Amino acid sequence: MRIILLGPPGAGKGTQAANIVEEYNVPHISTGDIFRKNIKEGTELGKKAQEYMNEGKLVPDELTCGLVASRLSEDDCKNGFMLDGFPRNTFQAEYLDRYLTENNIGLDKVINIEVDSNLLVERACGRRICKNCGATFHVKFNPSKVEDVCDVCGHNLTQRPDDNEETVSHRINVYLSETKPLVDYYTKKGVIANIDGDQDINKVFEDIKAALA
């Protein structure tokens, strides 16, 4: 299974990615997670990416595209992969197309999770993440059993530095101008499945499974 997850910030890409990985056993490739790992480890890439991420801007294509291509060429992607947060503009989509064509790889589905913009700020600002195991919670919509403690591994939960109202609003605007055109791009290719993301987390996953069947 070769899948792209598309959708605005806070739509539920990461949340559904965890379900998809479990069901279909494909590697989860999130460019946001890769950048955050590099920031945590203090690499050169992390230092460069951090400036853009803290302001809610896209990290430049020249730092992003090669990274994805080299990740896709690893062994665990031979039988499938799930891209989360890439591509994010037309340049990246065309770059990915070229990579796939050159390597004789087809896409199965682009899962487009749709959520109205006015719900996204609350989703992102209430998000809590576990830096240890990557689990995602929400203070209201998906609370951990014990406040600020990860259900999975027991570590403390934290907030992403870009999950404040101002930065989230900027990320939404970047999505609308740069990323949303990809809905058209993949609709024309006939590979898109539009999923209503404003439903219970489990219902969203049911709809994704139906689209992938």
For residue 190, with 0-12 CB atoms within 10 Å meaning exposed, 13-18 middle and 19 or more buried, which class applies?
exposed
Question: Any idea what the Cα angle at residue 110 is, between residues 13 and 91, rounded to 5°?
Answer: 95
3-state secondary structure string, 114-179? ECCHHHHHHHHHCEEEECCCCCEEECCCECCCCCCECCCCCCEEECCCCCCHHHHHHHHHHHHHHH
Residue nearer to Mg ion on the CB measure, 33 or 105: 33
Active site residue 189: no
> Which among Mg ion, Zn ion, ligand AP5, none contacts residue 201 (Cβ within 5 to 8 A by kind)?
ligand AP5
> Which among Mg ion, ligand AP5, Zn ion, none contacts residue 137 (Cβ within 5 to 8 A by kind)?
ligand AP5
Q: Which of 3, 130, 182, 192 binds Zn ion (CB under 5 A)?
A: 130
Residue nearer to ligand AP5 on the CB measure, 42 or 104: 42
Q: Which of 7, 10, 14, 56 binds Mg ion (CB under 5 A)?
A: 14
Burial 54-92 (b: 16+ CB within 10 A, else e): eebebbeeebbbebbeebbeeeebeeebbbbbbbbbeeb
How many separate helices (H) and strands (E) can be counted in the chain? Answer: 9, 8
User: In angstroms, what is the minimal distance from the CB of 13 to Mg ion?
Assistant: 5
Active site residue 71: no
Cβ(192)–Cβ(112) below 8 Å: yes
Cβ(119)–Cβ(174) below 8 Å: no
User: In angstroms, what is the minimal distance from the CB of 184 to ligand AP5?
Assistant: 18
Active site residue 171: yes
Residue nearest ligand AP5 (C-beta atom): 32
Active site residue 88: yes
Residues making contact with ligand AP5 (CB under 6 A): 7, 9-15, 31-32, 35, 52-53, 56-59, 64, 85-86, 88, 92, 123-124, 126-127, 136-138, 141-142, 171, 197, 199, 201, 204
The answer to whether 11 is annotated as binding is yes
Site of interaction with Zn ion (CB under 5 A): 130, 132-133, 135, 150, 152-153, 155
Q: Which residues does the annotation place in the binding site for ATP?
A: 10-15, 127, 136-137, 199
Site of interaction with Mg ion (CB under 5 A): 13-14
